[in-house]
Amino acid sequence: MSFDIMLIVDSIPKMLVGIGLTLHLLLLSTVIGLILAIITLLMRISGRWYLAWPAMTYIYVFRGTPILVQIFIIYYGLPQFDFIRESFAWPVLRAPFGCAVVALSLNAGAYVSEIMRGGVLGVDRGLHEAGKALGLKVHQRFIYITTPIAIRLAIPAYSNDCISMLKATALASTVTLMDMTGVARTIVAQTFAPYEIFIAAAIIYLVLTWVIQRGFGLFERRMSRYVKQ
């Protein structure tokens, strides 16, 4: 038995074949997730039960179940229904890529809306009152006061969520997608060198994690320039 460092180095470029798909999944699902999160948040804080309840149910279900199971339900499960196979969404839901994006986005939407809610709740009540006393309308207070402050408060948690999302993209390999983990699994099946290949993949994930963390760190510094050190 041998542990071949050179094999790790050699397999990194091969792994990069899958990085495009990994990043594609990550980007699409973060963006869609963000939109879903904003809609969900607005529903939740609307103060109307017929909007708040569906939002809370959505969050509850998606935060309470494994992403893997969500992917399987969408990929294997939905075709059970004829109406889905005949619907406009079928071209998306038929393909593993579409299913992975749908599952990851729905997941991100649920988590991120909670993160945003945390940010919104973290905004000092006195600032709302000051806004009211100055005559600002509800939407003006939300846009000019709550939002910028909530964003700053939410950055650390959001950064962690993006890292979780990156890690979750690896689950796409379970529905035949050739993301980095998918590529790694294929190479392992051919070479029987699991340590080297998987570690090579892990190194790339770690680098991506570092980039995300660093990026948000800089962003947070920028957003926090008004906070007393």
* Of positions 13, 47, 91, 135, contacts another protein by CB under 8 A: 135
Residue 57 burial class via C-beta count within 10 angstroms: exposed 0-12, middle 13-18, buried 19 and up: exposed
Q: Contact, 104 vs 25, CB < 8 A?
A: yes
Can residue 103 be called a binding residue for another protein (CB under 8 A)? no
Binding piece for another protein, criterion CB under 8 A, among 6-14, 31-39, 42-50, 168-176: 168-176
Please give the full DSSP string across 89-139, using - where no structure is assigned: THHHHHSHHHHHHHHHHHHHHHHHHHHHHHHHHHS-HHHHHHHHHTT--HH
CA atoms within 13 A on the CB side of 105: 20
* Of positions 27, 89, 130, 218, contacts another protein by CB under 8 A: 130
Can residue 228 be called a binding residue for another protein (CB under 8 A)? yes
Number of chain positions touching another protein (CB under 8 A): 65
Rg (CA), the chain: 21
Nearer to another protein, 56 or 188 (CB): 188
Q: Please report how the helices 49-64 and 5-44 are oriented relative to each other, as an axis angle in degrees rounded to 10.
A: 160
Which one-letter DSSP state was computed for residue 75?
I
Chain residues 183-202 in contact with another protein, contact rule CB under 8 A: 184-185, 188, 192-195, 198-199, 201-202
Binding-site string for another protein from residue 138 to residue 167, where x marks contact by CB under 8 A and - marks none: --x---xx--xx--x----------x--xx
Place of tokens 């796409």: 172
Which one-letter DSSP state was computed for residue 48?
-
* Of positions 78, 100, 102, 112, contacts another protein by CB under 8 A: 78
Can residue 27 be called a binding residue for another protein (CB under 8 A)? no
What residues line the site for another protein (CB under 8 A)?
A: 1, 60-61, 63-70, 72-73, 76-81, 124, 126-127, 129-130, 132-137, 140, 144-145, 148-149, 152, 163, 166-171, 173-174, 181, 184-185, 188, 192-195, 198-199, 201-202, 205-206, 209-210, 225-228
